[in-house]
Structure 1
Amino acid sequence: MKTAVTTNYSNLVFDLGAVLIDWNPRYLYNKIFATAAETDFFLTNICTSDWNEEQDAGRSLQDGTELLITQHPQYEAQIRAFYGRWKEMLGGPIEETVEILRDLKDSKQYKLYALTNWSNETFPLALLNYPFLQWFDGIVVSGREKIRKPDAAFYNLLLNRYELDAAATLFIDDNERNIRGAAACGIDGIHFQSAGQLRRELEEQAILPAVVHS
């Protein structure tokens, strides 16, 4: 059994998508396309992650959609579905991670924040669908601020807005690129891979009480 390492964190910052909220465009496009190969081609070459992140950084959904249709007119219907049927990409809360968030909230030992790459136009739907978002002491949304992870300005905006000490802040994200961005701003991170792995790392750092895992 590992000995817990006591840390001095007072602020815990969570990414949302793929950490607390199950969001995946494949949930939608597996309905639209006949085969997984067609879905993979479309999401790799048409509605790409890079394209979506421009909307996360503040470009309007309409502008992003029309730009892509101009480039790929043969896929107009499928491109319009990306935001027209966006809710079908939501798989629900990741319950095991939400339970971790609840435990941290109940401990009353930490301030909890969310730092998310998310379009400001779709984020209100998340607020309606996921009551646990109200547990945070603050949420910073890239689409609202028009900057996104891993831009240093985005992390510093969080620190400055809520008067946080970077050295007392721990950031949790499923994208290692974003963990490196936080580290460049003096913020320690945990690369999220599963709720079980996250809980174990929080226990090892004495952020959560250790329990015996079978």
Structure 2
Amino acid sequence: MRIDLPRRLAAEGLGAAFLVATIVGSGIMAEGLACDPAVALLANTLATGAMLVVLITILGPVSGAHFNPAVSLIFALRGDLGARDAGLYVPTQIIGGIAGTWVAHLMFAHPLLEFALRERSGIGQWLSEGIATFGLVATILAGLRHDRKAVPWLVGLYITAAYWFTASTSFANPAVAIARSLTNSFSGIRPSDLTGFVVAELIGALAGLVLTGWLFRESAPTQNHEFETPS
């Protein structure tokens, strides 16, 4: 069934808002309760991975559950999402993410408007974001090809793992990065570091598209050229 654009945009904005509210809110909660930064990061990780499974499961049938401009770009390049729709998905995702940050601030009695001071810059951080987004796109496209019903779990589990094997803790999402620049809390990123993150994420997403396009390309059927003797 074709879902009309307003409902798809609502799903994208709502999903991005809940995703960022989970990232920021669980980060604030974890930082307040845990004395060990590793425990705080683990709590933040589990909450984010779990929320992704929920959001993709319930909103995927409506909008595709991108919640991520890099993912929308990839689907537009594949021809699965029209250029006009992609042009509306992206700002909706960004606005939804910012709203999620503000909701988390209101819930935890933080100032509504603030800017992050946490530095996240350098080659290691940018490489991490490129790899994180590359892996996310590859996971999504491979999952859609092999087992569509598994995609929510594949993405949730991938992000859960990527929190820990990347130096950047795997933002892998320009909308999330922008929203996290507006919270001076555990999950924040300085606004001045955003450009490097977003560029790395877009490059990683494009690399993921190219690789999966080659890796899962349909092979032409081979012909049997064995010599046959006449009967």
Structure 1 and Structure 2 fold alike (TM over 0.5)? no
Q: TM-score, normalised by structure 2?
A: 0.25
More helix by proportion, 1 or 2? 2
Greater percentage in strand: 1
Which structure has the larger Rg over C-alpha atoms?
2
With normalisation by structure 1, the TM-score equals 0.27
